[in-house]
Amino acid sequence: MAHIPDGVVSIPVLAAGAAVTLAGCGLGLRRLPPEAVPRVAVLSAVFFVASLVHLPAGVSSVHLILNGLMGITLGVAAFPAILVALLLQAVLFGFGGLVVLGVNVMNMAVPAVLAGALFTVLNRPGDGRRAALAGGVSAAVAVAATALMVALSLALSGQEFLPAAKLLGLTYVPVLVVETVFTAAAVGLVARVRPGLLGGKP
């Protein structure tokens, strides 16, 4: 839901996206011990499957972004996990471009890490309802931040995108609503059954 295609974004924005994504992935991979690889990979596979589900919203349907949930469970490892997901989507389904991959990963992963941090602040271990609430809020913040970053990526690429960038937030409202409810439910369940998965320790 945040795939900018190739040919839109200007060279400085492309460079910034690539740099942030490289740094984030480097950090995420360095903090990923070999024994955690199966868990991060299997969860990434879950998120990949979830991102392909069409959820009905009003008259149309939305694909989830899931970066909030990824940040809550994977922490900084959300960076490489999102790179894997977006690379697969670009190559297999033609979602987004190749050169713009760095920007797209940045726009999803930076909010993911933020949401993960926000969740640890809001969450109270042992309280399932509180966890669900914290998960929902973090997911909403992640989606809003992604919308903002996509808007910025466009606005910084050319004056002519400015009006579109200002209106762009509106197209994210349905995803934000669905994703908040979805994440609250998912986090609420995980908090009750297996709280160790939350908190972003890969």
Task: Label residue 5 exposed, middle or buried (CB < 10 Å: 0-12, 13-18, 19+).
Answer: middle
The amino acid at 48? F
Query: How far apart are the C-alpha atoms of 96 and 88, rounded to whole Å?
Result: 10
Q: Going by C-beta distance under 8 Å and a sequence separation of 6 or more, which residues neighbour residue 26?
A: none
Smallest distance from other proteins to CB 34, Å: 4
Query: How far apart are the C-alpha atoms of 69 and 80, rounded to whole Å?
Result: 15
Nearer to other proteins, 26 or 124 (CB): 26
Nearer to other proteins, 108 or 165 (CB): 165
Smallest distance from other proteins to CB 114, Å: 20
**Residue 57: beta bridge partners?**
60
Smallest distance from other proteins to CB 121, Å: 21
Nearer to other proteins, 2 or 113 (CB): 2
Nearer to other proteins, 106 or 187 (CB): 187
Smallest distance from other proteins to CB 127, Å: 16
Nearer to other proteins, 118 or 147 (CB): 147
- Cα of first residue to Cα of last residue in the chain, in angstroms, is 25
Nearer to other proteins, 38 or 121 (CB): 38
**Element of type H or E holding 51:** helix 37-51
Smallest distance from other proteins to CB 172, Å: 7
Smallest distance from other proteins to CB 156, Å: 13
Residue 61: what are its φ and ψ, rounded to 5°? -140, 160
Query: How far apart are the C-alpha atoms of 163 and 160, rounded to whole Å?
Result: 7
Q: Going by C-beta distance under 8 Å and a sequence separation of 6 or more, which residues neighbour residue 95?
A: 3, 86, 89
